Amino acid sequence: MEQEQHVSSKYKNFQEFLDKEQYTEKSIKSYEKVFGENFVSPGGIDSTKLVTQHLKITPGQRILDVGCGIGGSAFYFANEFGASVHGIDLSSNMINIANKKKEKMAIKNVTFDITDCTTAEFEDESFDVIYSREVILHIKEKKALFQSFYKWLKPGGHILITDYCCTEKKWTNEFTSYVKSRGYFLQTVSLYAQQLKEVGFKIIEQVDNTEKFIYFLEKELERIELIRKEEENEAFSEEIYQYRRKGWSEKIQRAKDNLQTWGLVFASK
């Protein structure tokens, strides 16, 4: 099973699409300004603290952070709970930045690796927790990945996933074009839960967190406006400002229109 490409044919693979278009170093810097230091995911540290309440992390636990980005969650788990974290991401730009941050902060119990989670190999029952934020939306064959997660997780371990999802509502042409352009394979949060159950997980909670998603998006849009007033540089030029402002405004509207949702699934082995 390899991560499927759902983007322009001008890229030879999905990793190239991420590194040369969606997550260039300049793009990552501008995302980090919006999401907050060390984060490139919705809600930054605030949403991380919110969803982590589901987990009872204890010192020494081993966590696999799937789609770790530039390391924000991994650093939080290590510093706040004393966990040992291995972060993987397909974007080499993300991992390069994460490693630089790790070196600067001198954190020893965090490691990062450029890895495709759909072809990764770990020993069975290696992790106490598998954590993934807004990553699995890029993968078409999600159930096959969940089978790997089940093997890698220790008995009694937990998995926590948040992701962009959709509803049963009929997609508009605009929403369809957006999903394709981003390389997404969206599904409902209930289907996530169903697929996890089918491979053996016990579902503890499945939640549509779209109201919180809209809250975080609106706060981030305010931050975009504030950043633009305070500074203009390569990481947040006028062009990037207009692009981010448009993107956030449209995402808020899709969420309010019940097209794009924010799902959470918490399960145990």
Token code pair at residue 188: 């409902």
According to the model, what pLDDT value does residue 17 have?
75
Residue 57 confidence (pLDDT): 95
Q: In this structure, are residues 261 and 208 in contact, taking their beta carbons and an 8 Å threshold?
A: yes
Residue 151 one-letter amino acid: K
Q: Given this model, what pLDDT does residue 19 score?
A: 79
Strand segments (E) across 43-109? 62-66, 84-89
* pLDDT score recorded for residue 238: 85
Residue 9's pLDDT band (boundaries 50, 70, 90)?
Answer: low
Full DSSP string of 180-195:
HHTT-----HHHHHHH
Cα separation, 70 vs 72, whole angstroms: 6
* pLDDT tens digits for range 100-116: 999 999 998 999 999 99
Both tokens of residue 127? 């992790």
Each residue's pLDDT tens digit, 170-218: 999 999 999 998 889 999 999 999 999 999 999 999 999 999 999 999 9
Does residue 29 have a pLDDT over 70? yes
- Give me the pLDDT at residue 115, please: 96
Kindly state the tokens that stand for 74: 């991994």
pLDDT at 7: 52
Return the pLDDT at 220. 97
List pLDDT tens digits, range 132-176. Answer: 999 999 999 999 999 999 999 999 999 999 999 999 999 999 999
> In this predicted structure, what is the pLDDT of residue 2?
42
Res 1: pLDDT: 40
pLDDT, tens digit, 9 for 90 and up, residues 35-85: 999 999 999 999 999 999 989 999 999 999 999 999 999 999 999 999 999
Task: State residue 4's pLDDT score.
Answer: 47
How far is the C-alpha of 201 from the C-alpha of 195, rounded, in Å?
9
- Tens of pLDDT, residues 234-251: 667 888 889 999 999 999
Which pLDDT band, with edges at 50, 70 and 90, does 6 fall under? Answer: low
Amino acid at site 14: F
